Chain A
Amino acid sequence: MLKGKLKFAIAICVITLTISYLVYSGAKEAMVYYLSIEELVERVPQVHKARVRVSGVVVPDTIVEDDVGSIRFQITDSIETINVAYNGIVPDIFADEVEAVVEGIYTKEKMFEADTLLAKCPTKYEDASALYEKEDSY
């Protein structure tokens, strides 16, 4: 009986340790700092080495598309502004003044080379009037 229990304890330990290891190694590998644009600019030059995620509002009239589908634009947090280059699928809601979330590397040439672009709903509609208070859309 005791032997059986011991085997169980060992099995449970092995599983727990394995999952903990998977979590640890996975997190270590996939970790990405989420910075504001101000923080990004402050952390030059160390920031050039690592992947980071940054969010900011798209500066109106800065979106430039070339004919192979790459886009360039600027995002700002109203303190600092950076240039972003992105090649990939552009979300439908991406436009001037939306909040864009980009992930990639900020190069020494002061260009944020993004491989991920997410867009969130523009806030201007949400607090424009009593009608358009903060509200969600599933």
Chain B
Amino acid sequence: MVETGSISILLAFAISTYVLFASLYGAKSQRKDFIKSAENGAIAVCALLLIATIALLNSLISLDFSLKYVALNTSTDLSKIYRFTSLWAGQAGSLLLWCLVLSIYTSVVVIQNRNRSRQLMPYVLATLTAVSIFFIFIIAFVENPFQKLPFTPQEGRGLNPILQNAYMAIHPVALYLGYVGVTVPFAFGMGALLSGKLGDEWVTYSRKWTMLTWTFLSIGLLLGARWAYLELGWGGYWAWDPVENAAFMPWLTGTAFLHSVMIQEKRGMLKKWNMSLIIITFFLSIFGTFLTRSGIVSSVHSFAQSDIGPLFLGFIAFILLFSFGMFIYRLKDIESENRFDSILSRESAFILNNLLFLGAAFAVLLGTIFPIVSEALTGNKILVGSPYFNHVNVPIGLLLILLMGVAPLISWRKASKENLFKNFLYPILMGLITVVILTAIGIREVKAILAFTLCTFVTTTVFIEFYRGVRVRSKRGENALLALVRLVSRNKRRYGGYIVHIGVVLIVIGITASSVFATERKATLGRGEALQIRDYTIKYENLKRYSTGAKDATAAELVAYKQGKEMTTLTAEKNIYKYEGNREINQETEVALLSTLTDDVYIILTNFTHDDKATFRVFINPMVSWIWAGGIVILLGAIVTIYPSSRRE
């Protein structure tokens, strides 16, 4: 199996190289047979990488420690499911998965577009393949997952206990699907530049890919946040760590792109802007991989400081020079069909949205590479932490929410006074009511009041949009529910988008409440003692020590009361893993978490003594569950948007 895997990777590299040249030659000389053979080649590459992945999975599951990758990432005490997920626990395996995902995407693109846009497609395929070649080159010659050890050890290093978690098992995959997905709209953009077919074709055909990619990135970010919240035990879900920022930056510019392509489709404007935006997004996704994989900025995530850094840097330089070179070469051929008429129009709301997203991405990028920049300029390594990121991004975020409410209701081209009054009367009223209610119940934090008010404003605008659509249909005799279903299914992109907006609103509410109104207390308690935090009482009942095959666990049993009423029993654990192996971490903290619609009770057992005195850190984090609920709503909205039409487009 191991040989099959290595050979498959080498073959995939050879065939990819052929696909690149065959598709370029076929496009240049109008040879359909070459294009056809390149397309078949792309599918063959996908099959080969699938074989390589299965071979590696087989070695991981059967614990073939003669492979370096298996020895480094698994051990005999690891359950089957985590042996499987260790496919993406290390560098070489992650890169193989990266190649596999890209080749699957490439094959789907090839099959989808077999009979259309014949001028554009060979160049799209060439771009996708060029990116593939870079990654396949790395796994074939630099970081080969099938590299053998000079001897076969008895035992492997194993997987860190904090990585043995369901969210950890799936969030990297979701992020990869997103990261890699950015390549598809980028390839369509490059295809347009290379072929000179600069119309809207590339935007239209890559539209769903953009949405799909964006959804995977969003879900990946949220799952990662949830993992950090449950497993890292510091009571938070986001820390502006370089690794988090690396995934957040392409998400920001990707969101901008997702919106601005709509202007190109509806009004034939922003063509140059869209082209640059997708190039920047692709650059950021590769740059993010470079940041996290090269160890150039220090992060709590301990990635390898491996030799692939310079390779990546070269690749990034090539991408930037080549794509912007092509862009400048074609610049005179990309013309807008319309001009901006008024600053009070939907177009300009979209432009503002784009500028803000781009500004946020720039600020995050600058903050992330600040140590490198400052060291180069002044010789001192200077960091900026969370205060910087919050200081910059909170105002930008609030403005973006405002636009999220304004854009769907303002007219195209030029909004009249009547239009503004008619559409925004109720949303503004609802916003004002929110301000009054929040102040009345004693909330004085300006940022929180602003955020909640804007959220009400957006929700009202979305509600009005649905209400109007349904009313028009029910006037024609449809009942309200049927009208709603038809309304959404006839305008999936529009109403799916609104559902996504509602998901974002839920997330904003959750983030605001949990960051502004969190309470924290620390106390050392004896058995039977309790601590008070806000309107909660946490009583420490018992300390249990027990051992399983894998770990020595110490579990504190607690009972949570709200306003004197018993809620539930909770267990906070501190575990020492027995297996010494060569793992970096043998300690693991399991937080006790009680999640409700209004509050999360989050308890960490930080310390305990022989006479069963235990120290706890207790957080009351309001409305964190709204963030995860928002994620589910976003996913639903995205599915509505992407869901294939029954009618031909």
Residues of A within 8 A of B (CB): 1, 4-5, 7-8, 11-12, 15-16, 18-19, 22-23, 25-27, 29-35, 53, 55, 65, 67-69, 89-93, 95, 101, 103, 118-122, 125, 128, 130-138
Measured between beta carbons, the chain A residues less than 8 angstroms from B524 are: 67-69
Contact A135–B584 (Cβ < 8 Å): no
In this assembly, does B607 line the interface, its C-beta being within 8 Å of a C-beta of chain A?
A: yes
Q: Report the minimal beta-carbon distance from A10 to chain B, rounded to whole angstroms.
A: 9
**Contact present for B380 and A19 (CB under 8 Å):** no
Specify the chain A residue showing the minimal Cβ separation from B584: A121
Evaluate whether A34 and B381 lie within 8 angstroms (CB atoms) in the complex, with A1-B339, A122-B584, A134-B304 already known: yes
Q: Determine the chain B residues whose CB is within 8 A of the CB of A138 once the complex forms.
A: 88-90, 94, 163, 172, 301, 303
> Counting CB contacts under 8 A, is B162 at the interface?
yes
* Residues A67 and B607 in contact in the complex (CB < 8 Å), given A131-B68, A137-B89: yes
Do residues A93 and B584 form an inter-chain contact, with CB atoms below 8 A? Answer: yes
Least Cβ distance of B346 to chain A in Å?
A: 14
Complex Cα distance A119/B587, Å?
Answer: 13
Complex interface: chain A residues within 8 A of B615 (CB): 67-69
Q: Which of B232, B234, B293, B392 contacts A22 (CB 8 A)?
A: B392
Other than A11-B348, A67-B615, give 4 A-B pairs with Cβ distance below 8 A: A26-B392, A89-B604, A92-B587, A135-B72
A103 — which chain B residues lie within 8 A by C-beta? 385
Question: Quick one: which of B302, B306, B604 contacts A137, CB cutoff 8 A?
Answer: B302
For B609, what are the chain A residues with a Cβ–Cβ distance below 8 Å?
67
Residues of B within 8 A of A11 (CB): 343, 348, 352
A-B contact pairs, 26 of them (CB 8 A): A8-B343, A8-B351, A11-B343, A19-B356, A22-B391, A23-B392, A26-B388, A30-B385, A30-B386, A34-B381, A67-B613, A67-B615, A69-B606, A69-B615, A89-B233, A89-B617, A91-B232, A91-B300, A118-B300, A125-B582, A130-B149, A131-B157, A132-B157, A136-B293, A137-B302, A138-B303
> A4 to B587, Cβ gap below 8 A?
no
Contact, CB under 8 Å: A31 / B384: yes
B160 engages A137 (CB within 8 Å): yes
- Which of B149, B304, B380 sits near A135, CB closer than 8 Å? B304
Q: A26 contacts B382, CB within 8 Å?
A: no
**Residue of A with least CB distance to B388:** A30
Is B342 close to A, CB under 8 A? yes
List of A residues within 8 angstroms of B371 by Cβ:
34
Could you say which residues of chain A place their CB within 8 Å of the CB of B351?
A: 8
Q: Which one of A65, A89, A91, A136 has the greatest number of beta carbons of chain B within 10 Å?
A: A136
Is B519 in the interface zone, CB < 8 Å from A? no
Shortest 9 CB-CB distances between A and B: which pairs? A26-B391, A136-B304, A30-B388, A19-B359, A34-B381, A30-B387, A121-B584, A26-B388, A121-B302
A90 and B91 CA atoms in complex are apart in Å by 27
The distance in angstroms between the C-alpha atoms of A67 and B395, with both chains bound, is 42
| A-contacting 9-mer, from B36-44, B362-370, B461-469 | B362-370
Whole-angstrom CA separation of A101 from B604 in the bound complex: 22
A70 to B529, CA, bound (A): 21
Shortest C-beta distance, A17 to chain B (Å), equals: 11
Q: How far is the CB of A79 from chain B (nearest CB, A)?
A: 17
Would you call the interface of chain B mostly helix, strand, loop, or mixed? mixed
Q: Which of B300, B303, B367, B388 contacts A136 (CB 8 A)?
A: B303
Alpha-carbon separation in the docked complex, A130 to B157 (Å)? 13
B302 x A136 contact (CB < 8 A): yes
B384 near A27 with CB under 8 A, answer yes
- Return A46 CB to nearest CB of chain B, in Å: 13
Least Cβ distance of A47 to chain B in Å?
Answer: 12
Complex: how many Å from CA A41 to CA B628? 46
Q: How big is the B interface, by class?
A: 35 or more
Q: How far is the CA of A67 from the CA of B588 in the complex (A)?
A: 19
Q: Does B564 contact A (CB under 8 A)?
A: no
Q: Is the CB of B385 within 8 A of A32?
A: yes
When chains A and B are docked, how far (Å) is the Cα of A35 from the Cα of B383? 10
Q: Check: B311 CB closer than 8 A to any chain A CB.
A: no
Give the chain B neighbours of A137 by CB distance below 8 A: 73, 89-90, 159-160, 163, 302, 584
User: Which residues from 224 to 251 on chain B have a C-beta closer than 8 Å to any C-beta of chain A?
Assistant: 232-235
Distance to closest chain A CB from B413 (angstroms): 11
* 0 or 1 for each of B245-285: is its CB under 8 Å from A? (1 = yes): 00000000000000000000000000000000000000000
- Given A31-B384, A67-B609, A138-B303, residue A101 in contact with residue B343 (CB < 8 A): no
Known: A69-B615, A90-B606, A136-B302. A19 touches B153 (CB 8 A): no
Taking CB atoms, residues of chain A closer than 8 Å to B395 are 18, 22
Q: What residues of chain B lie closer than 8 Å to A65, measured between beta carbons?
A: 607
B396 within 8 A of partner (CB): yes
Does B200 reach chain A (CB closer than 8 Å)? no
Q: A93 to B387, Cβ gap below 8 A?
A: no
- Per the bound structure, the CA–CA distance linking A67 and B608 in Å amounts to 8
Q: How far is the CA of A135 from the CA of B583 in the complex (A)?
A: 12
Would A30 and B391 count as touching, CB distance under 8 A? yes
B391 / chain A contacts, CB cutoff of 8 Å: 22, 25-26, 29-30
B352 touches A27 (CB 8 A): no
Q: In the complex, what's the smallest C-beta–C-beta distance from B287 to chain A, in angstroms? A: 18
Q: Give Cα A125 to B232, complex, Å.
A: 22
Are the CB atoms of B585 and A93 closer together than 8 Å?
yes
CA gap between A12 and B352 in the complex, in Å? 8
Given the interface pairs A4-B343, A89-B234, A138-B88, the reply to whether A131 lies near B153 with Cβ below 8 Å is yes
**With the chains together, A16 CA to B302 CA distance in Å?**
35
Write out the residue numbers on chain A whose beta carbons fall within 8 Å of the beta carbon of B348: 8, 11
Is B51's beta carbon under 8 Å from chain A?
Answer: no
Compute how far the CA of A19 lies from the CA of B380 in the bound complex, rounded to whole angstroms: 25
Whether A26 lies near B356 (C-beta < 8 A) is no
Q: Indicate whether B589 reaches chain A with its CB closer than 8 angstroms.
A: yes
Q: Which of A65, A67, A95 has the largest number of chain B CB atoms within 10 A?
A: A67
Given contacts A26-B391, A69-B524, contact A101 B298 (CB under 8 A): yes
Residue B335 at the chain A interface, CB threshold 8 Å: no
Given the complex, which residues of A lie within 8 Å of B392, measured CB to CB? 19, 22-23, 26
User: A33 — which chain B residues lie within 8 A by C-beta?
Assistant: 380-383
**Measured CA separation A19–B391 after assembly (Å):** 10
Contact of B388 among A27, A34, A68 (CB under 8 A): A27
List, in ascending order, chain B residues with CB within 8 A of A131's CB. Answer: 68, 71-72, 149, 153, 157
**Does B490 reach chain A (CB closer than 8 Å)?**
no
Distance in Å from the Cβ of A49 to the closest Cβ of chain B?
A: 15
Instruction: Using CB atoms, name the residue of chain B closest to A31.
Output: B382
Q: Are A19 and B363 in contact (CB under 8 A)?
A: yes
Partner of B355, one of A15, A120, A134: A15
The reply on B442 being an interface residue by CB < 8 A is no
B33 within 8 A of partner (CB): no
* Set of chain B residues within 8 Å of A121, measured between Cβ atoms: 302, 584-585
**Chain A hits for B153, CB < 8 A:** 131
> B150 at interface (Cβ–Cβ under 8 A)?
yes
Q: A62 CB to closest chain B CB, in angstroms?
A: 18
Q: How far is the CB of A86 from chain B (nearest CB, A)?
A: 12
**For the complex, is B598 an interface residue (Cβ under 8 Å from A)?**
no
Tell me the bound Cα distance from A101 to B300 in angstroms: 9
